[in-house]
Amino acid sequence: PTVSFSKDNSLVTATLPTGESITVLLYGATVISWKDSSSSEKLWLSSAAKLDGTKPVRGGIPLVFPVFGPPPPDHSQTSSLPQHGFARTSRWEFLGKSTSESSGTQQTGDLSVKLDFGLSSAADGLDPKAKDAWGYKFNLIYSVTLNRKDLTTSLVVTNDDDRPFDCQVLMHTYLKVNDITKVSISGLDNSSYIDKVDSASTKTQSGEIKIEGETDRVYTADGPVTVAEDGKTLYTVTRDNLSDVVVWNPWIEKAKGMGDFEPKDGYKEMLCVEPGSVGGWQTLEKGDAFEGAQTITLA
Ligand code: BG6
């Protein structure tokens, strides 16, 4: 048995012999589909998402770099960038695939596949807006690894410039759920967070998180974050070198306001759990690299 694989001008798809699959759009190196062995989709993707490179993808796993959210006006390096930066609006290069025997908790003999993508300051695919707004020389390598029971995405940022630069990194994962009103998120108890829907005030989480309205929070926390529905675990998100986790659900009004968010009641079927390094800045000196990763494990 082998991993089946296909690539065209816009998409790369890999399927394990056991049936699990991933599809990555070269635009943004956005993972737009992750299915388990029974073809059940794990990522939410808006039915109105633009996949033609005219807009960041609404769903899947868009990659946020080098700034999270609207650029802070007092941070001159990033202040001219679009919200969430330019990685998600650039066309990445597919660097290759590698197949290996799964590690970790998987069964011996199971295969896994890793797809590598690259984007650099010299790339043709770089969003033209980035060239003027962020003039540093950089290199990004993004690896997407599919195991039978988990998906890992890992980003390495290298400073190829003579000057230091600051950056933030985040993996904007849209997890698919069946009914958001039955979802609870654990692992963040006692963590401090910034509540973006309450004047960015700083709060402390008490107990599990339930989503009962528009939710937009930046948590700083260690350890795994678990998403359960009706008390049954769906996903466990672990992080490597990413100190923050954004929990986002637009709820009714925000979803209505987003032209590419469909169906409008789709907010009931998604939850963003976004591992990142966004609380401050990673300052990379010439030649330095930063690596961060998330692993999403299925129950
Ligand atoms: C989240 C932010 O990460 O992304 C939210 O915390 C934002 O504030 C959301 O609304 C979606 O952003 P965008 O640019 O994809 O609409």
ipTM for this prediction: 0.98
The per-residue pLDDT for range 188-227, each reduced to its tens digit, is 999 999 999 999 999 999 999 999 999 999 999 999 999 9
CATH 2.40.400.10 corresponds to the domain 4-298: no
Q: How confident is the model at residue 84 (pLDDT cuts 50, 70, 90)?
A: very high
Are the C-beta atoms of 265 and 158 separated by less than 8 Å? no
Closest Cα to atom 15, ligand 1: which residue? Answer: 58
| Catalytic machinery residues | 172, 274
Q: Which of 68, 196, 216 to mutate to test the pocket of ligand 1 (most atoms within 8 A of CB)?
A: 216
Q: Is the CB of 84 under 6 A from ligand 1?
A: yes
Instruction: Look up tokens 């937009």; give the residue.
Output: 216
Q: Is the CB of 196 under 6 A from ligand 1?
A: yes
- Measured CA to CA, the distance from residue 125 to residue 16 in angstroms comes to 29
Average pLDDT value for residue range 97-122:
86
pLDDT confidence of residue 180 = 98
- Measured CA to CA, the distance from residue 106 to residue 241 in angstroms comes to 23
What residues does each domain of the chain span? 4-298
The per-residue pLDDT for range 260-294, each reduced to its tens digit, is 999 999 999 999 999 999 999 999 999 999 999 99
- Measured CA to CA, the distance from residue 243 to residue 279 in angstroms comes to 8
Backbone angles phi, psi at 195, to 5 degrees: -95, 100
Distance 248 CA to ligand 1 centre (A): 8
pLDDT confidence of residue 109 = 76
Q: How confident is the model at residue 106 (pLDDT cuts 50, 70, 90)?
A: low
Backbone angles phi, psi at 175, to 5 degrees: -80, 145
**Cα separations in angstroms, 265 against 19, 172, 183, 283:** 30, 20, 16, 40
pLDDT confidence of residue 1 = 82
- Measured CA to CA, the distance from residue 133 to residue 241 in angstroms comes to 27
